[in-house]
Amino acid sequence: MAYSQKVVDKFEETLNNPEKASVGRWKPGDEDFHRVGTGIVGAPACGDVMKLQIKCQNIDGENRIVDARFKTYGCGSAIASSGQLIDMLKGKTLEEAQAISNQEIVDILELPAIKIHCSVLAEEAIHRAIDDFKSLRNND
Amino acid sequence: MKQIYLDYASTTPVEEGVVKKMTDFMSFDGNFGNPASRSHSFGWKADEAVEEARNNLATLIGCDPREIIWTSGATESDNLAIKGAARFYKNKGNHLVTSKIEHKAVLDPFRQLEEEGFEVTYLEPNSSGEITVEQVAEAVTDKTILVSLMHMNNELGTITDIDSIGELTRSKGIILHVDAAQSIGKISINMSSNKIDLLSISAHKFYGPKGVGALFVRRKPRVRLEPLFHGGGHERGFRSGTLATHQIVGLGEAARIAHQQMDDDLRKLENLKRIFWDEVKDIEEIYVNGDSKNKFPGILNISFNFVEGESLIMALKSIAVSSGSACTSASLEPSYVLRALGRKDELAHSSIRFSFGRYTTEQDVKETALLVKSSVERLREISPLWEMYQDGVDLDKIEWA
């Protein structure tokens, strides 16, 4: 599997400095946990699982993603795709985040055809996280 | 960056002395003749070299040189043996037996034979990766004409008890083919005492060149095959085509060296494996695949739970290894061999095969082991599955989306 330099860089960036790459988690009990939406997609048996968390804040009447964290089990391009998604999320409104398409990730990372599912997983992860966040607010 | 090669089960470098010998059989100043030319010294000299190679290989495996047929490699040998025997003996029966952990070069010809009307039984290995003589005994019927099993599994390094299986098949008049691509030159085999009828050999797995191999075809009792290639009737009609003198000479020289060095090589590999295993064995949640007592020390296949194999290979970028992970292949299916062992898919996705060889040093395996430890740790740091495991979540009970 020949990856683009971009996938390799993103992967290594994540591995070498996980904290800077937003690897991590918020867990129940953390301050602001009620403002965190979590999306888990994929399955271990399929070789990739992505866990994405978004922390949102109401700014001028709109919910914006002020921070995000992730953990990913998967191949190099799955890990790179999650890292790329994180970069794209911060500062976006939920609506803007919802509109991110997997194709953007494919283009930026120059993913080979056989790895497109990694970008699809990332798109699903953000949708799940947004849904989770919205369901939390409804429960308030 | 210095690369450490730990993928000897995939292929091996050609010994320098072997390269030198091969190049002597190509140019005008060398011995370029066609071994089939009977009318001049160019042909005679080439023929002499081919026969010397045949003798060297025969010595290595303990057979009569006349039982060796040159081919282009183990894939061709497997095809010739399996399709050739099944088609020749089809009037005796239509049932064939093989296993689920065979190489694709064996499985695919069997698929082809199924298309032609043969019935094939695919044996499942036990959890250690072994196919036993008892399983074979249970599978064969009075319609069985051929059993084909590998000597050493390429992913696991497990060794099949071909001597016992040979006794069984011979007693029932069934042809036994053994794919020995991984084992020849590495562990001993003696064709004069075992009851194997057909044996596939590949040069590039034992420090010879790629593109050449051999098929052992037993003379007593005589085994017959329908050839795949028709033409000039070379190799007693089993395999037409001008012999690739330089390739064959390379195989022969590699066989001669392997015969001399086998015991030293094995001792060295045992030592390397021990050093490597001592370093990695304390990593939490690792599983050795094919944990059999009867195993080749040059192959070590380990699943690192909660870490995906391809990402581990990427993290180990200065180490050349291979993975049973789907993500390194075009199929998106994890290793069928590991699945056949009954390994969960996630463990199949998490496996790495380390294979050591003649040029591997103690320093190589120590460095690799240290890098494996730190890379597994770092990848687990970013793995949600590791996080869940640490939290005490039972991953099998989760409904994955």
Distance separating alpha carbons of residues B274 and B290, to the nearest angstrom? 16
Assign B324 a pLDDT band (cuts: 50, 70, 90): confident
The candidate with the shortest Cα–Cα distance to A11, out of B24, B378, B273, B143, is: B378
What is the nearest CA distance from A28 to chain B, expressed in angstroms? 13
The domain containing residue A82 runs over which residues?
5-101
Within 8 A by CB and 6+ apart from B143, the residues are: B93, B94, B95, B119
Does A75 contact chain B (CB < 8 Å)? yes
Distance separating alpha carbons of residues A43 and B328, to the nearest angstrom? 18
Q: Are A61 and A89 in contact (CB under 8 A)?
A: no
Nearest CA in chain B to A118: B327
Assign B147 a pLDDT band (cuts: 50, 70, 90): very high
Instruction: Give the per-residue pLDDT at A31.
Output: 87
Assign B216 a pLDDT band (cuts: 50, 70, 90): very high
Does A137 contact chain B (CB < 8 Å)? no
Residues of A in contact with B315 (CB under 8 A): 15
For B111-127, letters b (16+ CB in 10 Å) and e give eebeeeebebbebebee
- Positive or negative, the CA dihedral B198, B202, B208, B209 is positive
Instruction: Give the per-residue pLDDT at B218.
Output: 98
Of B311, B328, B346, the CB nearest to A79: B311
Within 8 A by CB and 6+ apart from B387, the residues are: A25, A51, A71
What CATH number corresponds to the domain at position A55? 3.90.1010.10
Distance separating alpha carbons of residues A67 and B237, to the nearest angstrom? 73
Distance separating alpha carbons of residues B343 and B48, to the nearest angstrom? 50
pLDDT tens readout for residues B343-364 = 888 899 999 999 999 999 999 9
Instruction: Give the per-residue pLDDT at A1.
Output: 57
Residue A138 belongs to some domain of the structure = no
Residue B116 φ/ψ, nearest 5 degrees: -85, 5
CB atoms within 10 A of CB B271: 14
* pLDDT above 60 for B15: yes
Residues of B in contact with A49 (CB under 8 A): 384-385, 400
CB atoms A71 and B382 under 8 Å: yes
CB atoms A15 and B315 under 8 Å: yes
Of B330, B334, B349, the CB nearest to A114: B330
Residue A133 belongs to some domain of the structure = no
Instruction: Give the per-residue pLDDT at B326.
Output: 60
CB atoms within 10 A of CB B340: 18
Does A78 contact chain B (CB < 8 Å)? yes
pTM: 0.93
Assign B323 a pLDDT band (cuts: 50, 70, 90): confident
pLDDT tens readout for residues A49-89 = 999 999 999 988 899 999 999 999 999 999 999 999 999 99
* pLDDT above 70 for A140: no
Of A47, A50, A76, the CB nearest to B349: A47
Among the listed residues B133, B283, B286, B327, the single catalytic one is B327
- For chain B, the average pLDDT equals 95
Structure tokens given for A119: 């970008």
Structure tokens given for B40: 């001049």
Active site residue A56: no
Active site residue A75: no
Instruction: Give the per-residue pLDDT at B330.
Output: 61
| CA distances from residue B400 to A51, B338, B384 in whole angstroms, order as listed | 12, 22, 13
Distance separating alpha carbons of residues B151 and A108, to the nearest angstrom? 47
Residue A53 belongs to some domain of the structure = yes
Residue with the larger pLDDT of the pair B181 and B348: B181
* pLDDT above 70 for B328: no
pLDDT tens readout for residues B285-304 = 999 999 778 899 999 999 99
* Total number of domains in chain A: 1
- For residue A70, the cross-strand partners are A23, A52
Burial class (CB in 10 A: 0-12, 13-18, 19+), B304: buried
What average pLDDT does the segment B139-160 reach? 97
